[in-house]
Amino acid sequence: MLKDITLGQYFPIDSPLHRMDPRTKILSLILLIVAIFLANNPWAYVLAAAFTLLVVALSKVPVSMYFRGLKPIWFVIIFTALLNIFFTPGTKIYLFGYRTPMTWEGLILAGKMALRLVLLIISSSALTYTTSPILLTDGIEKLLKPLAKLGLPTFELAMMMSIAIRFIPTLIEETDKIMKAQKARGADFESGSVLHRVKALAPMLVPLFISAFRRADELAVAMESRCYQGGEHRTRLNEIRFHLIDAFAGLLMLAFFAAVIILRIIL
Amino acid sequence: MAIEISNLNYVYMAGSPFEKHALQNVNLTISDGEFVGIIGHTGSGKSTLIQHLNGLLKPTSGTICVDGVDITAKGADLKKLRQKVGLVFQYPEHQLFEETVYKDIAYGPKNMGLTQDEIDERVREAMNYVGLTDKYMNRSPFELSGGQKRRVAIAGVLAMRPDVLILDEPAAGLDPSGREEILTQIKALYLARKMTVLFVSHSMEDVARAAGRIIVMNRGTVAMDGKPSEIFSHAKELRSMGLDVPQITQLAASLAERGIPIDNNIYTIERAKATILMLLAQKEKGAK
Ligand SMILES: Nc1ncnc2c1ncn2[C@@H]1O[C@H](COP(=O)(O)OP(=O)(O)OP(=O)(O)O)[C@@H](O)[C@H]1O
Ligand SMILES: [Mg+2]
């Protein structure tokens, strides 16, 4: 289960998507998400799905990785789909003699919502799979730069983000280790009543928090002892720059976005 | 409690670019009552191997039998297995969580569903084994020193009265006297409880002193397996695996090179001392 959490995991290969500027990818993702939520007819959905598939293909990351990213949220997808199917008012379809009737509207809504969720996860994964955490936060920082004039501490925000992203795998690994150690002492995290399972979490969460605090402390000391100072005068080893490929990608993205809007207006 | 491992393979993160074949075709039999030292360079698969022995990792292929029962089979009783095969992880003090030492050690027995009296008995017994006196019972484990925390953690596993005790680097990160104490206690425990002990270490010295059999891991395979004297006679191979023979064995080898008739299977300081004193005595006698 823990090994299925792939968000925030970078997939180090070479692909057109990997070579793009992180800013292009972040802005494109935002546009794509907006487009997915603006889509309100079948054609727009088909278009959004096709576009997402194109992104997946361009990323050269194996499709199985994307499926793995979906695994932890299958439950949410199916649960919301069931709620939608049975609790949306509309034309009733009685199937298998269920007490609560399904409705056509519910079925369609469920399909739409499920598709939206899946596309959302896949497209966000495409960003994190193809962008290393450092580039990602560099990109976010650059994009937030204009807000620095308004007094927003963009540099610090970006730093906090990169640290948070950096420590996701570490914490997962740590959780895995602690879970194993407690299992070796007979802990049972998988069966029993909900109350029992919540109680069983304490032996895992307490050591996890302690180690997270310890790590934070160590990191702070390490940064300070190397005279870390953020902010204005810090330069970078690798500056991020827009290339021709970003122009192509940007145009393609805008064309797709325009198409979704047009479909929304004319249909 | 014999353990039989046949054709064990394990792959981490199969199907991703981080795929790592951590164990390759491992075949081992560990008999009842053995004290086995497992050594190998960093990343050679030691921790991966031992996590298979109580069912925390499922083999990618291969089988493991503990006490004649195939633990890799579907529906194997892992809870029972984990009581029989106690595993102490690397830096076990990182897993302490209770308010008091007593409660933390009682966690394992409690999970076994024992009565209060039995739990109490086992906690006291385990504390006794690792040399923690009663005054620690109601202290918070978090205010103890590193070495004391480690003992609490080891006691937490011992309190389940396992037949097989597996320790992953029990002496890592301790000062020399702390190492010494932990190792001595493990050895004493082995003799007192007559359990099977598997003991992972980086240190040839530690393994040489305690174990009756040494397994050398190299890049996910078993490279050597035998008595300490056999293993340490292959100094060159060991060096090529990034390991070394104990310093005292090196000393004995250099002495032998200079023509001193010293035993070639010396790997503890005590033994070296006795042998050298004996040689000196012989020499004196010869001079007279
Ligand atoms: N959770 C994991 N995910 C992916 N790879 C792993 C994981 N744990 C270990 N590995 C890899 O498997 C190999 C064997 O690791 P293992 O921890 O068994 O080595 P070890 O012999 O115990 O090393 P050490 O002496 O450093 O503790 C290493 O190359 C390691 O990088
Ligand atoms: Mg290890």
Other CB atoms within a 10 A radius of the CB of residue A195 amount to 8
Q: Which of B16, B17, B108 sits opposite A185 (nearest CB)?
A: B108
User: What's the pTM value of the predicted model, to 2 decimals?
Assistant: 0.78
- How far apart, in Å, do the first and last CA atoms of chain A sit? 43
pLDDT tens readout for residues B37-91: 999 999 999 999 999 999 999 999 999 999 888 998 888 888 889 999 999 999 9
Q: Looking at residues B222-245, what average pLDDT do you find?
A: 88
pLDDT value at residue A7 = 52
Task: Supply the ipTM of this predicted assembly.
Answer: 0.85
CB A2 within 8 A of CB A223: no
CB B156 within 8 A of CB B104: yes
Query: Domain coordinates of chain B in residue numbers?
Result: 3-245, 246-288
Tokens of B80: 């029972």
**Residue located nearest, by CA, to atom 17 of ligand 1:** B47
**Residue located nearest, by CA, to atom 30 of ligand 1:** B43
Determine the residue of B13, B23, B44 to mutate for testing ligand 1's pocket, defined as the one with the most ligand atoms within 8 A of the Cβ atom: B44
Residue type, B193: R
Spatial neighbors of B103 by CB under 8 A, at least 6 apart, are: none
Per-residue b/e over B139-161, b at no fewer than 16 CB within 10 Å?
bebeebeebbbbbbbbbbbbbbb
pLDDT tens readout for residues B13-43: 887 777 899 999 999 999 999 999 999 999 9
pLDDT tens readout for residues A151-163: 888 888 888 887 8
Q: What is the three-class DSSP state of B3? A: strand
pLDDT value at residue A96 = 62
Distance B47 CA to ligand 1 centre (A): 7
Render B161-214 in DSSP notation, one character per residue: --SEEEEESTTTT--HHHHHHHHHHHHHHHHHH--EEEEE-S-HHHHHHH-SEE
pLDDT value at residue A244 = 92
Spatial neighbors of B5 by CB under 8 A, at least 6 apart, are: B26, B27, B28, B29, B52, B53, B62, B63, B64
Residue A123 DSSP class: H
Task: List residues near ligand 1 (CB under 6 A).
Answer: B 12-13, 20, 22, 40, 42-48
CB B216 within 8 A of CB B39: yes
Measure the CA–CA gap between B146 and B151, rounded to whole angstroms. 9
pLDDT tens readout for residues B127-161: 999 989 999 999 999 999 888 999 999 999 999 99
Measure the CA–CA gap between A247 and B116, rounded to whole angstroms. 71
Distance from CA of B133 to the nearest CA of A (A): 22
Interface touch A186/B89, C-beta < 8 Å: no
Q: Which helix (H) or strand (E) holds B224?
A: strand B221-226
Measure the CA–CA gap between A127 and A20, rounded to whole angstroms. 11
Query: In chain A, what are the helix, strand and coil shares in percent, each to the nearest 5?
Result: 75, 0, 25
pLDDT value at residue A1 = 42
List per-residue pLDDT tens for chain A, 267 residues long: 455 555 557 888 899 999 999 999 999 999 999 999 898 888 899 999 999 999 999 999 989 888 888 888 888 888 888 888 877 777 777 666 666 777 888 888 888 889 999 999 999 999 989 998 888 888 988 898 888 888 888 888 888 887 887 788 788 889 999 999 999 998 888 777 888 888 888 899 999 999 999 999 999 999 999 988 776 677 777 788 888 999 999 999 999 999 999 998 887
Q: What integer best gives the mean pLDDT of chain B?
A: 90
Interface touch B17/A12, C-beta < 8 Å: yes
pLDDT value at residue B246 = 85
CA atoms B61, B64, B69, B71: torsion sign: negative
CA count, 13 A, side-chain hemisphere, B26: 36
Distance from CA of A140 to the nearest CA of B (A): 27
Query: Domain coordinates of chain A in residue numbers?
Result: 1-131+243-267, 156-234
pLDDT value at residue A164 = 84
Structural class in CATH, domain B3-245: alpha beta
